[in-house]
A and B are shown apart, each in its own frame.
Chain A
Amino acid sequence: MSMDIILAQTVVNGLMVGMIYVLMAIGFTMVFGIMRIVNFAHGEFYMVGAFLFAILYGSNGMPFAVSVLLAIGATALLGLLMERIVFRRFRGNELNGMIASVGVALILQNSALLLWGSSARTVPPVLSGVLSVGGIVFPWSRLVVIIGAIVAVVLLNLLIGHTRIGRAMRAVAQDAEIAQVQGIRVDVIFPAAFVLGVSLAAFAGVLMAPVLSVSPFIGLAPTLKAFVIVVIGGLGSVPGAVVGGLLIGLIESFAGTFVSASLSEILQFLVVIGVVLLRPQGLLGRKEREA
């Protein structure tokens, strides 16, 4: 294989993984920005989304679109349930909220283990074949992930930027108390933001299911990644999540191809420490009020 091809594929892989991270990180950062909860269960919703899709589309052969919608819808419902029962009690309580989310992660992961078993499942690709551009081939199975994720990010951007509920979310993220005084229904915004974040995670899981194999244990790694990215990009910042996600995806892909996967993890760790030391508000974050 020539260098060009390797490079191109590394970039495509980096973008694919990066876009998945972007989806994960956006949901993670929204939940933090709006509810002030570091959600360690975030990746478990990704796992549930992937599993449901694998069962509906892979095992039961349901139509693609129906499987996607059902998987996301059911996961969102689960998210709503968790928000109602658990998370809403801890909003604003950073420490206990974080610990509670760990409890939820334990429950979700191991319920999946009991329900669906520990063996990994594979899902047939949604699109097969390759796209060849100037002699370099790109597998459609990966391009689908990138395109799907981009569509989701664009739709989300429209939602946040141009709808009433989006504006309300931004206001609550800025200052929940002031937003409430301005007449924003904070009690609706919190679950809405949580469910939106969960849906993005579920969609990421759906997109990745055909590329990776699906098991109950796939949730933790993307949670850590989302956390890392969100700190690099700036806690609570959506553009920061996009930049950070692509950055980490590309670092991972390049370091993984040319050096080693664990070196890439160590590199990311150093990037995190560097960022929190030199620019604690993150690359694109706003400075938090001190004192």
Chain B
Amino acid sequence: MNPSTTKPMSYVAVAVAVFLAVLLPWFAPNQFYIHLATVGCINLMLVLGLAIIARAGQLSMGHGGFALVGGYVSALLSMKGWPPLLTLFIAGLTAAVIAAALGWIILRLRGVYFVLVAFAFSQIVVLLALDMSSITGGANGLVGVPPISIFGCVLRAKPQFYPFALACALTTLLLTWLLYRSPLGTMMAATAENQRLTESSGIDTHRVQVIAFTIGSGIAGFAGALSTHYLRFISPDSYTFWESVSYLTMLVVGGRDGVLGPVVGVLVLTPLPELLRSTEGLQHIIYGTMLVLCLMFVPNGLASLVQTWRSRQRVARTSAAVVAEEVT
């Protein structure tokens, strides 16, 4: 936003991080790390989608529902022979259209109602997936979803899929960053901070929130589809309420303010479930505890620790300048 957040230093840091991420397959000790990184990329997209919705002041407890919609749409179409590369985008679009319709209907609702409708919606998606078993395979889900292929190159194995997932995640990250800097992103932040004032500055805040919900849910649909083609499988259990909760945890622990928060949240929390596969309960307890502790002690997330430090410097600088001015 302001010049201090985009210093040359930050660009260097971003370049180094991207470079390391790209090189990962070469120095990863085994395929498990590549798998982790792929899951991280998919999580990052989901969390960024959630972050965009939160940026406009709404909380979506049904984020997984949109990922599930995307996963099924892409799986079903590609199993009918459509190219997965295309169905990924159709999946994202479908989720976005549903979100737009839902958002438009519940347009005027205060936060709590919005939360309920999004939450209930995701439950209904799960029910429908279970119920329409002739199409969705019911509780067993869909097995044997075709892999993605790009220009004849089939992304079947982990080392091949990872670069594609990384490219998708980085593109999403870049677009989110651009969005946050754009007028729309500014309006979203303003709406979240003081909706009444924003409305009285001539901005249709409901429209801003619906657009944010649409974009964020569309990204979830795309990411859900991506994950489905990676795992080659989708079932109603792929995205339950607790998955939605884990994205929320990553967002809150990382930070809700910028694009750095989701990255931090995903880096910190993605490895956990994969490392604690055997004791799933413990993983969730750690998630829950981190969520509560972060809300209590670092409500703006781990990424805000960096920003707090920066803004301290800024305040020091400004007040020094003011003092100097007043003295002369």
Contacts and interface: CB of A to CB of B under 8 A. Distances in A.
Interface of A: 32, 38, 40, 86, 89-90, 94-96, 98-100, 102-107, 109-111, 113-114, 220, 224, 227-228, 231, 235, 260, 262, 265-266, 268-269, 272-273, 276-277, 280, 291
A86 B115 contact: no
12 contacts: A40-B61, A98-B59, A98-B115, A99-B295, A102-B248, A102-B291, A103-B292, A106-B288, A107-B288, A262-B124, A277-B106, A280-B108
Contacts of A220: 241
A40 B128 CA distance: 23
A32 B127 CA distance: 28
B117 A272 contact: yes
Contact of B281 (A40, A113, A235, A277): A113
Contacts of B105: 273, 277
B289 interface: yes
Interface string B106-119: 10111111011101
Given A260-B131, A269-B121, A106 B291 contact: yes
Contacts of A86: 292, 296
B130 interface: yes
A224 B108 CA distance: 22
Contacts of B287: 103, 106
A110 B196 contact: no
B323 interface: no
Contact of B296 (A89, A273, A280): A89
Given A220-B241, A276-B106, A99 B196 contact: no
B124 A114 contact: no
B59 A95 contact: yes
Contact of A114 (B106, B128, B242, B285): B285
B112, B119, B280: which has the most chain A beta carbons within 10 Å? B112
Interface in B61-118: 61, 105-106, 108-113, 115-117
B292 A104 contact: yes
Given A106-B284, A109-B284, 7 more contacts: A32-B112, A40-B61, A100-B296, A102-B291, A103-B292, A262-B130, A265-B124
B198 interface: no
B112 A224 contact: no
Nearest to B54: A95
B252 interface: yes
B117 A103 contact: no
Contacts of A228: 116, 120
B292 A276 contact: no
A224 B289 CA distance: 22
A270 to B, nearest CB: 10
Given A94-B111, A95-B59, A98-B115, A114 B248 contact: no
A58 to B, nearest CB: 22
B282 interface: yes
B295 A96 contact: yes
Given A98-B59, A103-B249, A110 B282 contact: yes
B201 interface: no
A273 B281 contact: no
A104 B293 CA distance: 11
Contacts of B117: 272-273, 276
Contacts of B281: 110-111, 113-114
Nearest to A111: B285
Given A99-B252, A105-B288, A106-B291, A114 B282 contact: yes
Interface in B274-328: 279-285, 287-292, 295-296, 299
A102 B113 contact: no
A96 B296 CA distance: 9
A262 B131 contact: yes
A114 B279 contact: yes
Contacts of B299: 96
A117 B245 CA distance: 22
B288 A94 contact: no
A276 B281 CA distance: 36
Contacts of A111: 281, 285
B252 to A, nearest CB: 6
B285 A106 contact: yes
B238 interface: no
A40 B283 CA distance: 19
A106 B245 contact: yes
A269 B120 contact: yes
B186 interface: no
